[in-house]
Structures are given as structure tokens and as C-alpha cells.
Amino acid sequence: MAPRIVIVGAGMAGLACADALAAAGAQVTLVDKGRAPGGRMSTRRVETALGEAAFDHGAQYFTARDDRFLSRVAHWAAEGIVSRWPEAGEHAWVARPGMSALPRHIAGKHDVLQGRLVRAMVRKLDGWHIRLEEDTVGPFDQAVVALPAEQAAALLGMCDFTFGRVAASCPSQPCWAGMYVLPEPIAAPPVIRNAGAIGWAARNNAKPGRSGPEAWIVQADTNWSKQFLEREPAEVAPLLLEQFGLAIGASLPEPLHAVAHRWRYARSGNAAKRYLWSPALGLGACGDWLIGPRVENAWLSGDALGAAMIETMRDHRSAPGRASGIGIGVDRASA
């Protein structure tokens, strides 16, 4: 029978892991608390008097430098899911028509339970049971945690002290992101980096495959984001727009739409582990925080964990009984 594997988190890391495992014949279920897959690769749409506007309010683009990732990106490009975005740099790509299109495309091939917050993971004799708010799913032969480090630490800590400690010692940095629809185009380049309190700003409607009214995504730098972290979004939206105006030296028109989003765990740390995997427990972890704060790293982490899990399954088939008990053959952290 195909091994049953549950992946908690359907961001880029969880999806890459799912792809690798499903390609090897595993029966994969992803569980995610969000309304749609993608996590920090997300796109928001709003109706305005000038038509629909869209914002990539998490990841703005992704880089592709690793050969394995590059070859996957080439497939997505051939399918029309991603395009290069030269304004953001030589190695920059975006999904079309919004960043969320890529995780949605990958998730379409898998069984994904959306809108399901995982509260706990319990390993019993028959396998892993995943406790949700109102019910439990399982049993699964193996379980993967594919969440930002702080959220991973909470779940992993209940299952394995070492894994929990690795995640807990890899804190993320926050980011306030403002989304503004303006009544007319402003005189500014399509991409602005590190200007005053602004870490990044981009004209979303000018990215490849986008259209619609003048829509700006404005991200505060880490210091500003930390300083205003506990303020209300409604309070932050005009303050961040003011900072944007100061950064580009322009007085901005009254926006048709102004909303701020707080990403508490925006930029991951770097645990320098690539992934965590315990064959004995049948428990793994992947995510950007294991390599560094990028979409490409999240994909590489999930893909590498999937490969390690497949390797264990092959070993197990050729030598049944190996790495089957707790504490036997534990490879807690790969290099």
C-alpha cells in the first residue's frame, strides 16, 4: 500500500515536498489554515471605481538560481504560469496573473484541506493523528511540518524536543505591507528599494501579466515594521502611505483604496539545516527558515525533504525493520 503522508502547511515548501512525494507514489494530504494555498505567496483583489485592482502582498517575485529549481521554473514558464520580471533583477520571476497562481497551480494536483487550523499532532501506534479545531484527521504513516519557524516550533515541540528547539531558535522578522489604489498614475519608477522607511515598493499593475488601475504595494523596512508592529492596520495604512510619499518626494493623491497587512513572520531566519527528518518518528520539517528567506529556498527545502523521505522508504523496502522504531536511525538534521 502507498504510504500515507500528511503535510501541515500548503505554502511553497509544503507543496514542493508534496510534489516530490506524490511523484514517488505516496498518498499525500496537505492541511492548511488559509482559504487558499500559497501562504506568503498570496494575491489580493479589490473592486474599485476604476475596476478591479490586484496586489501581491507577500512575496513580490522569486529568484531562480539553483539548477534543480531552474529546471522546474522552465516547466512552469512553458505552461505560462510564470514570467521573468527584469525590473526586479536578472534572476527574478513572477507568477501570472498574480503570485498566488503558482501555488494554486501546484496545489491543483494534490489533496488539500483548506481552512483547517492544525492545533496538535499526536503519534499513536497506528501513526500520526492531526488534531484540527473541531475534528481529527489520520492516521498517517509520516508527517511533515511546513510552517514558518515560530508556528513550526509550536507543533514540533509537542513531538520532538530537538526539532522544536531548532525551530524556536530561528526567529523571523515582521513586515507591514500597504496596498493602495490611486486615482491616477504617479511619477515613480515601477520598483523602489530601500528609500527612507520603505524597504520595497512596486507598481503591481505594471508587473508581467497584470493590468488594472494604479495599484501600489508598499512594504515598510524591518525597523519601521517593528516600531509599529502592534498598531491597528487601519492606523498603519495612512502612516505607511505618508512614508511612501516622503520616500519618493511626491505628494500623493487621496487613495481609492488603502489597506495595511501585518506579516508577523515575513522574513525567516536561516537555520542552515535544509530540512529536518527523523525516519524513526516519521516526522519531518521544511520551510524557508531552514535555508533562508526566499521562495526558492522554501521550494528547495521541501523538495530536499521529499527526496530524503523517499530514500527512507526505499531503504525500508530493501531492509524492512530498519529505522522503524523511535530512536533508531534518526537523522535529525541534514547538512
Ligand X SMILES: Cc1cc2nc3c(=O)[nH]c(=O)nc-3n(C[C@H](O)[C@H](O)[C@H](O)COP(=O)(O)OP(=O)(O)OC[C@H]3O[C@@H](n4cnc5c(N)ncnc54)[C@H](O)[C@@H]3O)c2cc1C
CA 290/CA 269 separation, integer angstroms: 8
Backbone angles phi, psi at 52, to 5 degrees: -75, 135
Figure out which of the listed residues 146, 276, 283, 300 binds ligand X, where binding follows CB under 6 A. Answer: 146
Which stretch, 21-29, 147-155, 188-196, 325-333, contacts ligand X (CB under 6 A)?
147-155
Verify binding: residue 69, ligand X, rule CB under 6 A: no
CB-wise, 226 or 316, nearer to ligand X? Answer: 226
Verify binding: residue 112, ligand X, rule CB under 6 A: no
* Minimal distance, residue 316 CB to ligand X, in Å: 27
CB-wise, 54 or 266, nearer to ligand X? Answer: 266
State yes or no: cis peptide before 139, omega within 30 of 0: yes
* Minimal distance, residue 321 CB to ligand X, in Å: 33
Residues 6+ apart with CB under 8 A from 125: none
Q: Which three cell numbers stand for residue 241?
A: 502611505
The helix/strand/coil state of 310 is helix
CB-wise, 62 or 182, nearer to ligand X? Answer: 62
Residues 6+ apart with CB under 8 A from 282: 123, 127, 128, 141, 142, 143
Residues facing 43 on adjacent strands: 56
- Determine the longest span between alpha carbons in the chain, in angstroms: 70
Which stretch, 3-11, 239-247, 309-317, 324-332, contacts ligand X (CB under 6 A)?
3-11
The helix/strand/coil state of 115 is coil
CA dihedral 14, 18, 20, 23 (to 10 degrees): -170
Verify binding: residue 32, ligand X, rule CB under 6 A: yes
CA 128/CA 138 separation, integer angstroms: 6
* Minimal distance, residue 251 CB to ligand X, in Å: 26
Verify binding: residue 121, ligand X, rule CB under 6 A: no
* Minimal distance, residue 51 CB to ligand X, in Å: 25
Task: Look up cell 506524490; give the residue.
Answer: 22
Give the per-residue contact string, 291-310, with ligand X (x = CB under 6 A; - = no).
--xxxx-x------------
Considering only residues 259 to 288 of the shown chain, the ones binding ligand X according to CB under 6 A are 263, 266, 287-288
Verify binding: residue 8, ligand X, rule CB under 6 A: yes
* Minimal distance, residue 95 CB to ligand X, in Å: 11
Figure out which of the listed residues 5, 21, 31, 192 binds ligand X, where binding follows CB under 6 A. Answer: 31
Task: Look up cell 488539500; give the residue.
Answer: 112
Figure out which of the listed residues 60, 243, 278, 312 binds ligand X, where binding follows CB under 6 A. Answer: 60
Task: Look up cell 522552465; give the residue.
Answer: 74
Q: How far is CA 256 from CA 51, 122, 214, 246, in A?
A: 11, 48, 10, 19
CB-wise, 117 or 319, nearer to ligand X? Answer: 117
Verify binding: residue 61, ligand X, rule CB under 6 A: yes
Number of shown-chain residues binding ligand X (CB under 6 A): 38
Of residues 242, 194, 263, the one with CA closest to residue 39: 263
CB-wise, 272 or 326, nearer to ligand X? Answer: 272
Figure out which of the listed residues 22, 24, 27, 34 binds ligand X, where binding follows CB under 6 A. Answer: 34
CA 184/CA 126 separation, integer angstroms: 61
Task: Indicate the helix (H) or strand (E) that contains 307.
Answer: helix 295-318
* Minimal distance, residue 37 CB to ligand X, in Å: 6
CB-wise, 255 or 263, nearer to ligand X? Answer: 263
Which stretches of the chain bind ligand X, using CB under 6 A? 8-14, 31-34, 39-41, 58-63, 117-118, 146-148, 151, 175, 177, 219, 263, 266, 287-288, 293-296, 298
